[in-house]
Every structure is written in C-alpha cells, then in structure tokens.
C-alpha cells in the first residue's frame, strides 16, 4: 500500500463529500485551456492540478523524473517511465496536496496550478496503439448467447476455458464528451431476406472498463498471470458503442467488425492500479478449473460500482443499469496471460476492454440489448417516451466508483451524445 492510499489523508483543497477525486485517488489525465497547450494533470475535488507547472517548480526533480514528460499531449511517455517513477509522482502529489505536510506545502502556488475542472477541456489521455475487446462477463455472454442461439447453446464450448476476445480498432476511440454519429451499414431486417443499407436502427451502449498497458512486452514472450499486473498502469471507463443490427448480419464467421468499430468512448481519467488496491476482491469461482497458464493466486478483481444513465434530448436522465466490475468471470491477469500466451506482444498505451459487464439481476445488465431483451421490454423514460435502442439526441453517461472506509475513488464520466448520421 503506498502513502497516497492512506484513508486518513486530507487535502488543503476542498473536496466535496460526493467527489470522485479525493486525495487518495490522484488519477492521471491530459487537459488544455484556451491559453494553455495540452499537458498532464491530476484531479483533486473540483479542480485539475497542472503537472507541467508543478514540474517547472522542480517538485519532481529529486524523483529522477524528467520534466518534459508532463508537457506532452498524451500520458504515454510518463507511463513509459515505469511504475517506480509514476508511483513516486503520485506519492509526491499526495504530499503536495496534503493538509498536514508543511515541508511540501504547495498551497501558496494554488493559483498557478489549479484550474476548475468545469473550465478546462479534458483531452484523449492516451495514444492508443492497439485495442482488444474481451467478452469476460458470464452473465453478458449467457444473455447474448440465449438471444442469438437459444438457451441450451448460450455459452459456446470454449467460453469457460479461455477469455474470448477480438481485436478492435484504436482510431475511433474518443474521450468523454465527444459526440457519436449513428453508423450506417448493411443489415438483414428479416430472416432470409436480402440485406438493406441504411442507418443502424439498433444503436446500443456496452458498459465496460478497460485497462491501460503500462509496459512493453517482447514479441515471442508471454506474460504470466503472476506478472500481469506489472504491465497494467490503470483503468478507464469504456463505452463500446455497438450497432446490433449491423453486428448480427456481419459477425459470422469472423466476429465483430463495422457494428463495433465506429466509436468507443473512454473517461478522461486513468485511475491507477495503485489507487484501486484497497478495493481488491476475489472474482467469481471458476469451474472448470482453467488450464495452468490461466490459473492465478489471490484476489484479482476489484469492487468497482458501475452505473449507466440514459438522458433523452432536452429531457431528464434515468439510471438504467447498476453493475459491478467484480462480476467479471475472467480477471485482467488472465486476460493478459491469455493475450500473450502465443507470443503476441503488447505496447504502452494499448487498451484492453473487459467486455460488457452484466450482473445477475435484470437491472444490472450492461447493454440495452439485454436490458430490453432485444427490444421486447422497452424502458419507460421520465419524458413519457420509451427506449428499445438509442435514439438520436440521447446521451449515455457511464460512471464508476469504489467506496470503503469513508474514501470514494471515482472515474468521472464516460459521456457521449448520439448524433444523426452524416
């Protein structure tokens, strides 16, 4: 447990009780203002703290961390310094913002490095090289399988033996707040009929989290479950927008393609694995026992509460889903061990998404496909309308947070508004 996680710490920056960003969180992101070029920041209460300014004042010099990494437009160079360095920076930030540490008091400089979050623009925090999407929620895979193949064949024979995944597209990953265009494509509206072309009529969200690769691996080498977490820098919220009608027509036999790769939205804050450490829990029991390369010791999941809010254009929003990261059957260490077991290498900034995180109850399903059971049970909205799938003008807002010992660590939002197609 690092210094920064101490639940007793308090900051001289006011932190509202319902804030995602107490002094115990200190996630990393990238921001700009009309007057400031993109640079690295952390979040504290209602503020972002400008790390470039803190670096220019020499606050990180004794840590052996070069100043230039803080004035980059992405976190990648910072992450590349390695966990010893990034952990030292997070601990130093914890000292600088601590109410009780006079030696490291940075409060006199507050006017130079703190900006209200509402007044800055948060940017895409990572240069994502490769993006992989897993399919690791047993509940989600069972629900979707039951809908598409019937209850008896819901889980494919491989599912309980390996973390199923596919390679997604990094170019269309966007930061929270970026609008999402309804995709157009080919779909088969009626069984046996010829396909038609047009805007998707079944646009959906997928509630996911993704982990950020923090260390390169070597081509040809594998990462064990025991070492996997050394390669994980932190986590973001992830909305894997999906066009169900396009997906259904195209996915046989090679899997998802245009029904998935038009957009994915991430939260602007990368919450470090260090910050999540107090919330570590066991995942679900695994039966049958996985092959040896997928076995791991100790608790490998995290208790992260998840929520999806759906907001119609001009209307009041409504929470449509409450789930939890801990429901995932396959954990991150297993996903990474599987991903690299054939010698596939990973690189800093790669994103590995969990797959839709559905829980056991019907209000914990992580997609509209499941929540409405393919449109059979529409969701009533506060404005009197109902939703089977997303309409133009709808905004989807995902949130995630952990709570324990009076400390709440949150991820902020992954928010996106649906725009009509071009």
Catalytic sites, residue numbers: 140
Q: Quick one: 136 or 176, whose CB is closer to Mn ion?
A: 136
Q: What is the DSSP string of 115-154?
A: EEGGGSEEE-------EEEE---HHHHHHHHHHHH-GGGS
Closer CB to Mn ion, 71 or 132, in the complex: 132
Number of chain residues interacting with Mn ion (CB under 5 A)? 3
The residue whose two tokens read 């040896």 is 292
Closer residue to Mn ion, CB minimum distance, 133 or 350: 133
State the nearest-atom distance from the C-beta of 210 to Mn ion, in Å.
10
* CB 173 to Mn ion: min, Å: 12
The nearer residue to Mn ion, 69 or 174, going by C-beta atoms, is 174
- Number of other residues whose CB lies within 10 A of the CB of residue 108: 7
- The residue within the footprint of Mn ion, chosen from 240, 350, 370, 394 (CB under 5 A), is 240
Which 44-83 positions form the footprint of Mn ion (CB under 5 A)?
Answer: none
- Closest CB 168 distance from Mn ion, rounded Å: 8
Which range, of 30-38, 177-185, 235-243, 331-339, touches Mn ion by CB under 5 A? Answer: 235-243
Instruction: Tell which positions 107-146 bind Mn ion, by CB under 5 A.
Output: 133
Q: How many helices (H) and strands (E) does the chain have?
A: 9, 26
Q: 181-220: which residues touch Mn ion (CB under 5 A)?
A: 206
Q: How far is CA 176 from the centre of its chain?
A: 11
First-to-final CA distance of the chain: 50
Residues 252-311 that bind Mn ion (CB under 5 A): none
Helix spans in 295-413 (H): 332-340, 368-371
CB of 260 to Mn ion, least distance (A): 7
In angstroms, the CA 235 to CA 251 distance is 28
350: left (phi over 0), alpha (psi -120 to 50) or beta: beta
The piece of 78-86, 233-241, 269-277, 379-387 that touches Mn ion (CB under 5 A) is 233-241
Quickly list DSSP for 149-189: H-GGGSS-TTTTTS--EEE--STTEEETT--EEPPEEEE-S
Measured from the CB atom, the residue of 95 and 206 that comes closer to Mn ion is 206
The distance of closest approach from Cβ of residue 309 to Mn ion in the complex, given in angstroms and rounded to an integer, is 19
Which residue ranges make up the site for Mn ion (CB under 5 A)? 133, 206, 240
């Amino acid at each position: 447990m690092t210094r920064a996680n101490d639940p007793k710490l308090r900051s001289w920056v006011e932190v509202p009780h319902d804030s995602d960003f107490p002094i115990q969180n200190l996630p990393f992101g990238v921001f700009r203002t009309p007057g400031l070029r993109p640079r690295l920041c952390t979040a504290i209460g209602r503020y972002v703290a400008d790390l470039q300014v803190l670096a220019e004042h020499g606050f990180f010099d004794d840590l052996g961390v070069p100043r230039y990494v803080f004035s980059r437009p992405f976190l990648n160079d910072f992450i590349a310094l390695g966990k010893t360095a990034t952990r030292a920076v997070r601990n130093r930030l914890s000292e600088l913002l601590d109410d009780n540490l006079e030696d490291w008091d940075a409060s006199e400089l507050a006017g130079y490095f703190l900006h209200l979050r509402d007044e800055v623009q948060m940017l895409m925090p990572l240069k994502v090289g490769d993006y992989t999407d897993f399919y690791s929620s047993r509940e989600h895979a069972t629900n979707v399988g039951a809908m598409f193949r019937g209850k008896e064949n819901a889980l494919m024979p491989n599912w309980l033996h390996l973390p199923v995944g596919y390679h997604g597209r990094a170019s269309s990953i966007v930061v929270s707040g970026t609008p999402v265009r309804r995709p157009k494509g080919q779909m088969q509206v009626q069984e046996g009929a010829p396909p038609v072309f047009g805007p998707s009529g079944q646009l959906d969200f997928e509630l996911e989290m993704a982990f950020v690769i923090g260390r390169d691996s070597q081509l040809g080498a594998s990462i064990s479950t025991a070492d996997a977490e050394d390669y994980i820098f932190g986590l973001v919220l992830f909305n894997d927008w999906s066009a169900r009608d396009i997906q259904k027509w195209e996915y046989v036999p090679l899997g998802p393609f245009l029904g998935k790769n038009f957009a994915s939205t991430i939260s602007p804050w990368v919450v470090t694995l260090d910050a999540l450490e107090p919330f570590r829990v066991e995942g679900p029991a695994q039966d049958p026992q996985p092959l040896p390369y997928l076995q791991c010791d100790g608790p490998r999941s995290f208790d992260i509460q998840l929520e999806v809010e759906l907001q119609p254009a001009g209307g009041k929003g409504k929470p449509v889903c409450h789930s939890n990261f801990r429901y995932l059957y396959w954990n991150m260490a297993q996903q990474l061990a599987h991903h690299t077991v054939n010698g596939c290498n990973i690189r800093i900034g790669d994103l590995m998404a969990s797959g839709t995180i559905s829980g056991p109850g019907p209000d914990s399903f992580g997609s509209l496909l499941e929540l409405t059971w393919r449109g059979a049970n529409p969701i009533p909205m506060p404005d009197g309308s109902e939703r089977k799938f997303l309409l133009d003008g709808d905004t989807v807002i995902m949130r995630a947070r952990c709570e324990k010992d009076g400390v709440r660590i949150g991820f902020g939002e992954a928010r996106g508004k649906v725009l009509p197609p071009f």
